[in-house]
Amino acid sequence: MFENLQDRLGSIFEGLTKRGALSEKDVSEAMREVRRALLEADVALPVARDFIKKVTERAVGQEVLRSVTPGQQVIKIVHDEMISMLAGGGEGDDAPAAAPEEGSADDAAGIDLAAVAPVPVMMVGLQGSGKTTSTAKIAIRLRDKAKRKVLMASLDVRRPAAQEQLKVLGEQAEIDTLPIVAGQDPVAISKRAMEAGRLGGYDVVMLDTAGRLAVDEALMAEMAEIKSAANPHEILLVADSLTGQDAVNTADLFNKRVGLTGIVLTRADGDGRGGAALSMRAVTGKPIKLLGTGEKLDEMEVFRADRIAGRILGMGDVVSLVEKAAETLDAEKAEKMAAKMKKGQFDLDDLAEQLKQMAKLGGMSGVMAMMPGMGKAKKQLDAAGMDDGVLKRQAAIISSMTKAERRNPKVLNASRKKRVAKGSGTQVQEVNRVLKMHRQMADVFKAMGKKGGKKGMAALMGAMGGGLPPGVTPPGGLGGPMGGGLPPGLGGGMPSGGAGLPGLGGAPTLPGLGGPKKK
């Protein structure tokens, strides 16, 4: 969602950091470009003006202009002010609700649960914004992350099959839904849902209300009646981030009429320009609590201002990557893989498992988007046609081999390679590329088992070039800060990191990607 804004800001800041010293004129010109970039990204004009004013006041101070690295200081100020804009924290803001204490039940769920059970959570928004799906996603988070018993109820009696849709989602997610009673109005359904929540021992009752194509008086009157009947602890607006500035206007109208407690932004994985997320908090004064990051029911994450700001400014989001890995990767398999690698054993079945783990983390693009300094490499890959389909083709190639061939790739002669290529719908050249990548990785892991330490990792960084087309070379020099402390499944070849995605535990090298840039 923030790709265009990230590209614009990246080019602006690259020009600043190349200069040894900055003048007030340099800063002012850069801030004009930043303002233009924000407006093009659909950020509300008053929000962009206020942001630029605050950054400029801090950036033209003597401690910045006379510092050793003034360009980096300006970037830090922009980063700090962007966090402030996204998270609030000014006088009168309810910032703690946007960022609950990490590790708490509220933090795991993304919403405030500090109320007497059953806690009513009312979902509001326009038709088509993703309310019903978001209701199911939040219910899953409440069950899995916060260990809460959840009941979902559809109050949408206007849209055809809306109640049936929530029922189907509940069956898919194994979340209880309120039985449908034909002819009941939304207020009566909300009262029945709360009563069922009390009698059934539920911790949370999710109320999925009806939407309209636009904000109107009938919609607001219905929302007010439901609010009066259910007395919801949370009123969450579900807004489509692809609608840009119109989503901000919708949020402002809902907040003024029914009093929001938070916002859920859907389709954050789309190609929207990101202005809605940047403006929403400042315009409404209400926190963005959750982001819908995909179509699947488990693709929703807690909104954290510092991490989103880091992604926008190309600083990556390694913490979220580690958290996602801890959630999705199989620790037992990772430990077994680590033990094999220490013995120098690495066959094509192991490579297939690595590719599967990469796909669980969102594919190459998803991982690279969260890694610092990988923006240019990601563009190179896109330009070369190296999308996440590469992982699927590589996995298909390995699946088209016999068990004996996967365990001992040396038996793959020319005729066998042709058979594998035909079976996987690829070319022999692609089969050779997968075999070359596996051979290099296997050699390196064997060497690491003997040498260990930095020599082995240096060899790993140079060994992964087999999967890339000519001219695509990710930047080097990013290894140090990421090594060692990652959970099993993210460590790659690092002795203390465990098995998993080769290269993520100390070097930005991934299956099918190239090694560091040659000087």
Query: Which residues, in sequence order, are bridge partners of residue 265?
Result: 239, 291
Q: Strand 234-240 to strand 119-124: parallel, antiparallel, or no bridges (unpaired)?
A: parallel
- pLDDT score for 397: 92
Contact 303, 290 (CB under 8 A): yes
Helix (H) or strand (E) holding 318: helix 318-328
CATH code of 3-87, in short, is: 1.20.120.140
The amino acid that residue 29 corresponds to is E
pLDDT in tens, 90-102: 433 443 344 445 4
Helices vs. strands in the chain: H and E counts, helices first: 24, 8
Secondary structure class of 332 (helix, strand, coil)? helix
Which has more confidence, 84 or 380? Answer: 84
How confident is residue 77, by pLDDT bands cut at 50, 70 and 90?
confident
Which has more confidence, 495 or 183? Answer: 183
Helices 428-451 and 389-399: crossing angle in degrees, nearest 10, is 90
Q: What is the DSSP string of 398-467?
A: HHTS-HHHHH-GGG--HHHHHHHHHHHT--HHHHHHHHHHHHHHHHHHHHHHHH-HHHHHHHHHHHGGGG
Which has more confidence, 230 or 486? Answer: 230
Edge-first strand listing for the sheet containing 262-266: 176-177, 150-154, 204-208, 119-124, 234-240, 262-266, 288-292, 300-302
- pLDDT score for 26: 78
Secondary structure class of 327 (helix, strand, coil)? helix
Above 50 in pLDDT, residue 516? Answer: no
- pLDDT score for 207: 96
Residues 6+ apart with CB under 8 A from 228: none
Give mean pLDDT, residues 52-62: 81
Cβ neighbourhood burial of 454 (10 Å; 0-12, 13-18, 19+): exposed
Contact 243, 226 (CB under 8 A): no
Secondary structure class of 40 (helix, strand, coil)? helix
- pLDDT score for 494: 32
- pLDDT score for 487: 35
Helices 428-451 and 348-360: crossing angle in degrees, nearest 10, is 100
Give mean pLDDT, residues 169-185: 93
Report d(CA 156, CA 177) in Å as an integer: 13
- pLDDT score for 3: 65
- pLDDT score for 302: 85
- pLDDT score for 502: 37
Report d(CA 156, CA 186) in Å as an integer: 7
- Closest among 124, 233, 258, 130 to 186, alpha carbons compared: 124
- pLDDT score for 227: 93
Report d(CA 313, CA 334) in Å as an integer: 32
Across the chain, mean pLDDT equals: 74
Above 50 in pLDDT, residue 441? Answer: yes
Per-domain boundaries in the chain: 3-87, 95-312, 318-482
Maximum CA pair distance of the chain? 74
How confident is residue 388, by pLDDT bands cut at 50, 70 and 90?
low
Give mean pLDDT, residues 446-463: 53
> 395 to each of 353, 488, 515, how far by Cα in Å?
9, 22, 21
Task: Tell me whether domains 3-87 and 95-312 share a fold.
Answer: no
CATH of 318-482, one of 2.60.260.20, 1.10.3720.10, 1.10.287.1770, 1.10.260.30: 1.10.260.30
- Closest among 276, 274, 269 to 247, alpha carbons compared: 276
Report d(CA 148, CA 138) in Å as an integer: 11
Instruction: Tell me which of 139-143, 402-406, 439-443 is least confident.
Output: 439-443
Which has more confidence, 23 or 202? Answer: 202
Contact 260, 222 (CB under 8 A): no
Most confident of 98-102, 266-270, 345-349: 345-349
Which has more confidence, 20 or 495? Answer: 20
In the numeric block, the tokens 């560091």 are attached to 516
- Closest among 183, 106, 176 to 136, alpha carbons compared: 176
Above 70 in pLDDT, residue 488? Answer: no
∠29-11-306 over CA atoms, to 5°?
A: 95
Above 60 in pLDDT, residue 475? Answer: no
Most confident of 22-31, 190-199, 261-270: 190-199
- pLDDT score for 483: 31
Give mean pLDDT, residues 389-408: 88
Which has more confidence, 394 or 387? Answer: 394
95-312 belongs to CATH 3.40.50.300: yes
Above 60 in pLDDT, residue 201? Answer: yes
In the numeric block, the tokens 């199911």 are attached to 136
Q: Cα-atom radius of gyration of the chain, to the nearest Å?
A: 26
pLDDT in tens, 286-333: 888 898 888 888 888 888 877 777 767 765 555 556 656 666 666 667
In the numeric block, the tokens 């029945």 are attached to 192
Q: What token pair was written down for 466?
A: 């087999």
